[in-house]
């Protein structure tokens, strides 16, 4: 609808500005020559922390660092100046250093003579949408891999059983001092290790519901850390900061395994130099939007941090994939973090990881307090 067809009271600039301020998406009008912000609605100002209001004449490109896809933004603006609209997704680094993925549209605004007078920009933060899509794809991949791994492990377990039975039968037929007996013992040891591995794979693929009950989460963490302290090398220290009395419905065995796996993984990441494993537990809330800032559902936030070697972006993308490991052969199956991911999501929770090479890693697990309670009532 054109302005001319609007009711007379709505034709004023004030009413148009009020209408734009009600929009959920960030909208700005830019000078066609230098890209200075001539107007921005409330959503735009909120998105950029008030920067547009604090600095009149601020250019859109100045709100972002020029590295990375910031150059794409400049090219998109240039295309709009030439008369062609631009639309796409773009990952921009804000001035504070925070990477944010936007859905961006830039269009030229023409006067009655067809001359471009300004540029209109529409921005929508889709970072959480992309994260949800990534988590969905990962969950689908893990379901497929789990089903495949379970079938292979079951058949493999049968083959191992046949090998071990045959080795036992041969052992009964050879003399006690026969050199063959030593080789049979080696076969049995390797077979037992293989059975342990297939058992882990089968447990991963089954995703059993477990036994749900009301748990004092801080007591559970204290119990696990006492075990970890006896198994950790002397150069690894454990620090805890736990809010007492937080109770959650869940499977204590599975949650025990989550903390144990994260602790062991952290200890290995801090070798050979050692370091500190920090475990924090505090009340939180969840807004069902894939972030940690909402206040809809009561939750608990478990943070497990280490001062180890950290991870690069490629490793971060794959750490929850079954059988992915950065350890040398024979020092890990690559199932530890996959199991953590599976258990957390089975408890209705979410998991975020932040890490950089040489700066350690931080795992944040958000668990709803009553997710397991629903399961108990349903059963």
The yes-or-no verdict on residue 187 having pLDDT over 70 is: yes
Q: DSSP for 136-166?
A: HHHHHHHHHHHHHHHHHHHHHHHHHHHHHHH
Percent of the chain clearing pLDDT 70 (strictly above)? 75
Q: What is the pLDDT of residue 204?
A: 60
Per-residue pLDDT reduced to its tens digit, 105-150: 999 999 888 899 899 999 888 877 777 777 777 666 666 666 666 6
The yes-or-no verdict on residue 37 having pLDDT over 70 is: yes
For residue 59, what are its two tokens? Answer: 């250019």
As a whole number, mean pLDDT of residues 316-331 equals 69
As a whole number, mean pLDDT of residues 329-356 equals 79
Per-residue pLDDT reduced to its tens digit, 282-306: 998 765 544 443 345 789 999 999 9
Q: Is the peptide bond before 316 cis (omega within 30 degrees of 0)?
A: no
The yes-or-no verdict on residue 377 having pLDDT over 70 is: no
Beta-bridge partners for 351: 365
As a whole number, mean pLDDT of residues 245-249 equals 92
Q: What is the pLDDT of residue 289?
A: 45
Per-residue pLDDT reduced to its tens digit, 57-111: 778 887 776 665 667 888 889 999 999 999 988 877 665 666 778 888 999 999 8
Give the SS3 label for residue 323: coil
- Dihedral sign for Cα 178, 179, 182, 188, please: negative
**At 188, is the pLDDT very low, low, confident or very high (cuts 50, 70, 90)?**
confident
* b/e map 278-292, b = 16+ CB within 10 Å: bbbbeebbbeeebee
Higher pLDDT, 99 or 37: 37
**At 338, is the pLDDT very low, low, confident or very high (cuts 50, 70, 90)?**
confident
As a whole number, mean pLDDT of residues 175-189 equals 86
**CA–CA distance, 279 with 77 (Å, rounded to integer):** 46
Q: What is the pLDDT of residue 1?
A: 35
In the chain, the domains with their CATH numbers are: 3-125 (3.30.450.20), 131-206 (1.10.287), 213-378 (3.30.565.10)
Higher pLDDT, 15 or 73: 73
Q: What is the pLDDT of residue 354?
A: 93
**At 183, is the pLDDT very low, low, confident or very high (cuts 50, 70, 90)?**
confident
For residue 269, what are its two tokens? Answer: 């990441």
Q: What is the pLDDT of residue 191?
A: 84
**At 237, is the pLDDT very low, low, confident or very high (cuts 50, 70, 90)?**
very high
Q: What is the pLDDT of residue 62?
A: 76
As a whole number, mean pLDDT of residues 7-27 equals 71
As a whole number, mean pLDDT of residues 231-235 equals 89
Strand order in the sheet with 86-93: 37-40, 26-31, 116-125, 99-110, 86-93
The yes-or-no verdict on residue 361 having pLDDT over 70 is: yes
């Amino acid at each position: 609808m054109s302005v001319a067809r609007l009711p007379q009271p709505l034709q004023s600039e004030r009413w148009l500005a009020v209408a734009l301020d009600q929009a959920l998406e960030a909208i700005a009008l830019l000078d066609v020559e230098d890209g200075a912000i001539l107007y921005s609605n409330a959503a735009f100002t909120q998105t950029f922390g008030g920067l547009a209001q604090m600095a009149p004449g601020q250019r859109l490109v100045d709100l972002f660092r020029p590295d990375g896809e910031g150059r794409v933004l400049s090219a998109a603006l240039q295309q709009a100046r030439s008369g062609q609209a631009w639309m796409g997704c773009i990952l921009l680094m804000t001035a504070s250093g925070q990477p944010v993925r936007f859905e961006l549209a830039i269009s030229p605004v023409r006067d009655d003579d067809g001359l471009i007078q300004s540029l209109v920009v529409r921005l929508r933060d889709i970072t959480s949408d992309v994260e949800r899509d990534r988590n969905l794809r990962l969950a689908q991949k893990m379901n497929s891999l789990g089903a495949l791994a379970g079938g292979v492990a079951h058949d493999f377990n049968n083959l191992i059983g046949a090998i071990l039975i045959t080795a036992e039968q041969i052992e009964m037929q050879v003399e006690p001092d026969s050199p063959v007996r030593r080789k049979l013992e080696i076969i049995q040891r390797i077979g037992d290790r293989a059975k342990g591995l297939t058992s882990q794979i089968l447990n991963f693929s089954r995703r059993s519901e477990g036994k749900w009950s009301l748990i004092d989460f801080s007591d559970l963490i204290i119990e696990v850390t006492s075990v970890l302290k006896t198994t950790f090398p002397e150069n690894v220290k454990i620090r805890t900061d736990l809010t007492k009395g937080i109770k959650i419905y869940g499977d204590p065995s599975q949650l025990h395994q989550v903390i144990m796996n994260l602790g062991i993984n952290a200890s290995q990441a801090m070798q050979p130099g050692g370091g500190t494993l920090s475990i924090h537990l505090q009340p939180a809330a969840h807004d069902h939007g894939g972030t940690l800032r909402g206040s809809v559902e009561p939750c608990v936030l478990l943070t497990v941090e280490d001062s180890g070697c950290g991870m690069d972006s490629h490793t971060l993308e794959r750490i929850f994939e079954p059988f992915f490991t950065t350890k040398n052969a024979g020092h890990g199956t690559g199932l530890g973090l996959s199991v953590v991911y599976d258990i957390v999501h089975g408890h209705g929770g979410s998991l975020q990881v932040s890490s950089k090479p040489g700066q350690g890693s931080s795992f944040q697990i958000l668990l709803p307090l009553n997710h397991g309670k629903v399961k108990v009532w349903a059963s």
